[in-house]
Structure 1
Amino acid sequence: MSFEQRMIEVNGVELSTESFGRPEHPAILLVHGAGHSLLAWEEDFVRRLVAGGRYVIRYDSRDAGLSTNYPAGAPAYELRDLVADAACLIEALGLTSAHVVGMSQGAAIGQLLALDHPGRVASLTLASATPGGPGHEHPDLPRMSADLQALFAEEDPGPDWSDRAGVIDYLVEAERPFAAASRPFDEAGMRAMAARVAGRTRNIAAQLTNPFMIDAGEPWRGRLGQITAPTLVLHGTEDPMFPIEHGRALAEEIPGARFMAMEQTGHEVFPRAQWDTVVDAILDHTRAFRPV
């Protein structure tokens, strides 16, 4: 399988990218969530998409991994800047458009990409998402779980960012409340992932703080009916951040969107137990709608 690492300058910043597969195949752009980096999309998962005949790109957004970062607590950008970054990245990669797969904040970016840069989006796959984006109020939809509300109400001092072992512990425990309660938490797997994340970042403090501080801008839920990209919505049945009603509402408000529930899944990047189902669904979705 061909593989290429590149630092690509777009929209005034440098983004670290990794591309897998053959560029002539339909392109999938993976957009990670807040606090994550391109490592959130595990390489074995990416390889399954490539084996299905896809050209897959994962990248670090601002403040993530090896991309441009800002002082922790002072992000000099907004959500719309991340949207523009993704649109410019698709162009810089020499693509007319890409199949965009986004999770959580990445799904918010995907929604705005499809609205503001429709020519760049061949199809959308939105996972663990809410209609109109995080940070906007949706009184008609259930709130996050009581446990998460209590967690967010507490002041989080964070770890000693210079203590690698402490940072790894912090990363593991930060993911635990978002996982499905009905499935044993994969602490060993999460710890191994946390070690990779801690070892591949310019500024871990910025990665784990800044993306949660940025302005989401004007609500766009009322515009979802304008999305023309074929859309697949994936949502965990046990998502404590955005209960499953958020995913169902998102699918209902995007014309022609398909909804698929992921059993024993919380607000988390696709668990391995779901890979067979999710990979087949993404390959099927992107097979029907190729870039022009």
Structure 2
Amino acid sequence: MPVVSTNQIELAYDEVGDQGAPAILLVMGLGTQMTAWSEEFCRSLAGRGFRVLRFDNRDVGLSSKIETAKPVAIAAAFASLMTGKPVEAPYTLDDMAADTVGLMDGLGLRQVHLVGASMGGMIAQIIAAKHADRVSSLTSIMSSSGAPGLPQAKPEAISALLAPRPASEDREQAIDHGVKVYRVIGSPGFPTSDADLRVRIGRAVDRSYYPAGVGRQFVAVLAGGSRVELLKRIVAPTLVIHGADDPLVPVEAGIDTARHIPDAALKVIPGMGHDLAAGLVPILVDAIAAHCQAVAHVR
């Protein structure tokens, strides 16, 4: 697996498509490896005329783990958030945005079509606002503006996300846990069979299983606060995609994100929850490719 060194860490990445084609850079969400951007998804986008790159964020997958950080206390972070106090985090979403820009620098990518999912959407929003010259277009999927007062996740979704993860040596329990989480947050209109889900999660567990990194990323999200003012600075053509049935980041968060980004387009997908189910791949590829191609045509 190739890596790029940046910000004193290494980021693992891979790519598909013509190296001379316009680049789409995929930024994944909380505690999730780059392989959640499925090979079918990446190959389909490449088939539309793009160089498609995906990577593991810090603290997940095959990228560097921030093992020198102090242990995080998620309950205390939540308490600080609820009382309006600053949330202490080992690193921030801005640090992760800097990682992404550093990856671009290391690969010689002057400008990319940036696509982020969930936490990855938050990271992509920050880059589009603070590094406008590096972003040809932005696609923010099942993400949020972080504005206070937005509807909260359903209790069962929060419970599933915060449930203790099994010990790393117990593969079957780790898979069982992943299945339970996806059964709560997944897309009711695009169901995945238990067999397929276990295979997909098993591959992720075998590739890398690192619960400590999930906790640190989660606290970084809690510490992120509102990005409303940043969103108003985004000039890249923007597409916001959200599931109508997302129990973790309710659809109102996507609507609010689009509302604050000048001239953003909004696509709400009925039956989509908080995942990238196989049945969603053709819909997402069509929407993202059309958005990126329209920008390329204008420019």
Correspondence 1:66 to 2:86: no
**CA offsets per residue over residues 219-262 of structure 1, 9 Å max, x none?**
32123111001000000010011211111111111111111111
Pick from 170, 176, 182 the counterpart of residue 175 of structure 1.
182
Correspondence 1:138 to 2:145: no
- 1:53 corresponds to which residue? 49
Matched letter for residue 111 of structure 1: Q
- Note the 1:146-157 alignment, pairs <5 A: 146-149=155-158, 151=160, 156-157=163-164
- Note the 1:71-150 alignment, pairs <5 A: 71=67, 73=71, 76-132=90-146, 138-139=148-149, 141-149=150-158
Pick from 284, 287, 290 the counterpart of residue 281 of structure 1.
287
Q: 1:275 to 1:149 in 2, by over 3 A?
A: closer
After TM superposition, the score normalised by the length of structure 1 is: 0.89
- 1:13 corresponds to which residue? 9
CA distance in structure 2 between the partners assigned to 1:50 and 1:16 by the alignment: 19
CA distance in structure 1 between the partners assigned to 2:63 and 2:181 by the alignment: 22
Q: Secondary structure at the match of 1:229?
A: coil
Pick from 25, 30, 35 the counterpart of residue 31 of structure 2.
35
Q: Secondary structure at the match of 2:2?
A: strand
Matched letter for residue 115 of structure 2: V
Structure 1 residue 212, shift from structure 2 partner: 1.0
Aligned residues: 279
Matched letter for residue 156 of structure 2: D
Q: Secondary structure at the match of 1:208?
A: helix
- 2:85 corresponds to which residue? none
Q: Secondary structure at the match of 1:28?
A: strand
Structure 1 residue 122, shift from structure 2 partner: 0.9
Structure 1 residue 218, shift from structure 2 partner: 4.9
**Contact 1:65–1:207 (8 Å) recurs in 2:** no
**Contact 1:70–1:206 (8 Å) recurs in 2:** no
Q: 1:25 to 1:268 in 2, by over 3 A?
A: same
Q: Secondary structure at the match of 1:129?
A: coil
Correspondence 1:258 to 2:265: yes
Gaps of 5+ in 2: 73-88
Structure 1 residue 90, shift from structure 2 partner: 1.1
Q: 1:47 to 1:85 in 2, by over 3 A?
A: same
- 2:217 corresponds to which residue? 211
**Contact 1:262–1:274 (8 Å) recurs in 2:** no
- 1:232 corresponds to which residue? 239
Gaps of 5+ in 1: none
Q: Percent identity?
A: 35
Q: Secondary structure at the match of 1:36?
A: coil
Structure (1/2) with the larger helix percentage: 2
Structure 1 residue 181, shift from structure 2 partner: 3.7
**Contact 1:168–1:198 (8 Å) recurs in 2:** yes
Structure 1 residue 206, shift from structure 2 partner: 2.6
